[in-house]
């Protein structure tokens, strides 16, 4: 599997060089297909990649260019060995020949590898449960720090869901309270955002024993790295230590993703309309270091806040809510973010100093003086903006008008 993954990555890089060096009038799928076939014949270690997987690399690369031309993504680039996820695509589902051994395990055929066993975690349309509307169309092998995983592509026919009769709720994402709801049913994962000394807890998804093990591994890695020389190849012992550190990080990420899936599924099943903020996370997590001429202030504190924001993975949570609410018949809307944390949800006044701290909100208006939780207040303001009609984008599942291919967007001079 490792050989096939490296061959697929190299195939992408060779295809990228071949594509960018050719004149535009000579670029075509037929010419790229012929080049791939020739490369697999002339280079032995590229031949370990099955022909179908090589064709999948070509289709993925061409789709990446189409996404770039349609202004949906950046242009494809070179895939580095140490910064690329190892993966192999199996585009044809009939080659898998999946069988279920018992409740927890299944077997599948992998081209040029053979019969493998995998953990059966979800129901798959195999055997008498498979038909033209519900079937497996392919799979993808992906490797991370915990080993190799297989993800199946399933084509299924699902009925259009009925409109969800659930209530409307506004959600404010945060660091202290991950998901603060306007109805006060806040969702907390029980992991402290900061340690006892006030710094950001980078490893909050690990228990005490795992944190101690991680610290020992980091100290061991630093000790072994001190014996290396500039330009010298990393030793096998240091690489093994790095792998152990990566496995702990991957375990923490898996726990965080599991909590997000469970929480978003519960919200999608309960609520009919979910309203969130339109956040520019890239600007929120910019460094405060500044320049040499104008150095920034409170750089360490801002760095800890950026790390905490990145750990919560707000964008991934909103993505999960988007497609899960659509499956349940609900809708997700986004509203402008400015002012939601400073406006009083009781009287509607925005007075400087309303938010006394990260968790405490006290209205400074003399006629109001409403006290409450700052995150709960922001959630109520988000829901109020939706009810007043201040939505930014169409609801999930609605039609989006796209610019036709070949038509340049209008620009103001």
> Per residue in 310-319, pLDDT tens?
888 889 999 9
253 and 298 belong to one structural domain: yes
pTM: 0.82
190: confidence class by pLDDT, cuts 50, 70, 90: confident
Residues 53 and 27: their CA atoms lie apart, in Å, by: 21
122 and 22 belong to one structural domain: no
Do the domain assignments include residue 239? yes
226 and 352 belong to one structural domain: yes
pLDDT tops 50 at residue 411: no
- Residue 393 vs residue 232, higher pLDDT: 232
177 and 315 belong to one structural domain: yes
User: pLDDT tens-digit profile of 17-41?
Assistant: 999 998 988 888 899 999 999 988 8
197 and 324 belong to one structural domain: yes
Mean pLDDT of 154-168: 89
C-beta separation of 334 from 276 below 8 A: yes
pLDDT of 401: 37
pLDDT tops 80 at residue 197: no
- 3-class DSSP assignment, residue 300: helix
200 and 230 belong to one structural domain: yes
176 and 306 belong to one structural domain: yes
What residues does 179 pair with on adjacent strands?
173, 187
Mean pLDDT of 386-407: 56
248 and 329 belong to one structural domain: yes
pLDDT of 412: 38
Do the domain assignments include residue 394? no
pLDDT tops 60 at residue 394: no
Mean pLDDT of 76-97: 91
Do the domain assignments include residue 142? yes
Do the domain assignments include residue 405? no
Do the domain assignments include residue 392? no
413: confidence class by pLDDT, cuts 50, 70, 90: very low
Torsion of CA 191, 265, 316, 91, to 10 degrees: 130
Q: What percentage of the chain carries pLDDT values higher than 70?
A: 93
pLDDT of 403: 37
Out of 71, 88, 105, pick the residue that ends a domain: 88
pLDDT of 281: 82
83 and 98 belong to one structural domain: no
pLDDT of 284: 81
Do the domain assignments include residue 247? yes
259: confidence class by pLDDT, cuts 50, 70, 90: very high
pLDDT of 407: 38
Q: Which domain holds residue 66?
A: 2-88
Q: Total structural domains in the chain?
A: 3
Out of 155, 181, 198, pick the residue that ends a domain: 155
Question: What tokens were used for 375?
Answer: 């995150």
Question: What tokens were used for 387?
Answer: 């009810």
221 and 74 belong to one structural domain: no
- Across 139-148, 263-272, 338-347, least confident range: 338-347
| Burial grade of 389 (CB within 10 A; 0-12, 13-18, 19 or more) | exposed
55 and 100 belong to one structural domain: no
Do the domain assignments include residue 44? yes
141: confidence class by pLDDT, cuts 50, 70, 90: very high
Do the domain assignments include residue 29? yes
Mean pLDDT of 148-175: 90
Q: Beta-strand (E) ranges in 165-304?
A: 168-173, 179-181, 273-278
Out of 155, 180, 200, pick the residue that ends a domain: 155
189 and 310 belong to one structural domain: yes
CA-based nearest residue to 386, from 222, 256, 272: 272
pLDDT of 356: 64
């Amino acid at each position: 599997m490792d050989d096939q993954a490296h061959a697929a990555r190299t195939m992408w890089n060779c295809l990228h060089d071949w594509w960018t060096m050719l004149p535009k009038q000579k670029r075509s799928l037929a010419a790229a297909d012929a080049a791939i076939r020739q490369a697999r014949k002339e280079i032995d270690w590229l031949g370990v990649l099955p022909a179908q997987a090589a064709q999948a690399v070509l289709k993925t690369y061409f789709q990446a260019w189409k996404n770039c031309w349609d202004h949906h993504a950046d242009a494809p680039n070179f895939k580095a060995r140490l910064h690329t996820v190892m993966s192999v695509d199996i585009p044809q589902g009939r080659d898998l020949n999946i069988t279920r051994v018992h409740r927890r395990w299944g077997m599948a055929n992998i081209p040029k590898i053979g019969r493998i066993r995998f953990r059966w975690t979800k129901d798959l349309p195999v055997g008498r449960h498979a038909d033209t509307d519900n079937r497996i169309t392919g799979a993808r092998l992906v490797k991370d720090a915990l080993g190799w995983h297989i993800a199946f592509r399933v084509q299924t026919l699902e009925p259009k869901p009925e409109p969800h009769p659930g209530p409307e709720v506004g959600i404010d994402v945060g660091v202290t309270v991950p998901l603060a709801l306007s109805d006060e049913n806040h969702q907390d994962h029980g992991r402290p955002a900061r340690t006892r000394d006030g710094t950001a807890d980078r490893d909050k998804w690990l228990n005490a024993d795992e944190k101690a093990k991680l610290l020992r591994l980091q100290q061991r890695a630093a000790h072994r790295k001190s014996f290396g020389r500039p330009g010298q190849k990393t030793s096998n012992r240091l690489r093994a230590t790095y792998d152990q550190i990566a496995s702990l990080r991957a375990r923490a990420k898996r726990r965080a993703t599991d909590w997000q899936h469970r929480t978003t599924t519960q919200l999608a099943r309960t609520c009919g309309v979910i309203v969130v903020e339109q956040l520019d996370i890239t600007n929120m997590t910019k460094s405060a270091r500044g320049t040499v001429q104008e150095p920034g202030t409170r750089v360490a504190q801002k760095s800890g806040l950026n790390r905490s924001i990145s750990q919560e993975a707000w964008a991934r949570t909103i993505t999960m809510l988007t497609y899960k609410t659509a499956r349940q018949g609900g809708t997700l809307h986004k509203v402008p973010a400015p002012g939601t944390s400073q406006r009083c949800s009781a009287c509607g006044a925005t007075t400087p100093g309303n938010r006394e701290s990260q968790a405490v909100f006290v209205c400074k208006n003399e006629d109001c003086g409403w006290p409450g939780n700052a995150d709960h207040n922001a959630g109520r303001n988000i829901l109020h903006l939706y009810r007043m009609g201040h939505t930014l984008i169409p609801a999930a599942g609605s039609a989006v008008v796209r610019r036709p291919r070949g038509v340049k967007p209008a620009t103001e001079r």
